[in-house]
Amino acid sequence: MQEYDKLKVLIDEIEMDINKAQGGNKAAGTRVRKQMQEIKRASQDVRSKILEIRSSQP
Convert the pLDDT of each residue in 1-57 to its tens digit.
Answer: 899 999 999 999 999 999 999 999 999 999 999 999 999 999 999 999 999 999 998
Number of structural domains (the chain) is: 1
- Considering the entire predicted model, what is its pTM? 0.82
If one counts every other C-beta atom within 10 angstroms of the C-beta of residue 28, the result is 18
Residue 29: per-residue pLDDT: 96
Does the pLDDT at position 58 exceed 80? no
Burial group, residue 32, by CB count within 10 angstroms (0-12, 13-18, 19+): buried
Q: Which domain holds residue 30?
A: 2-56
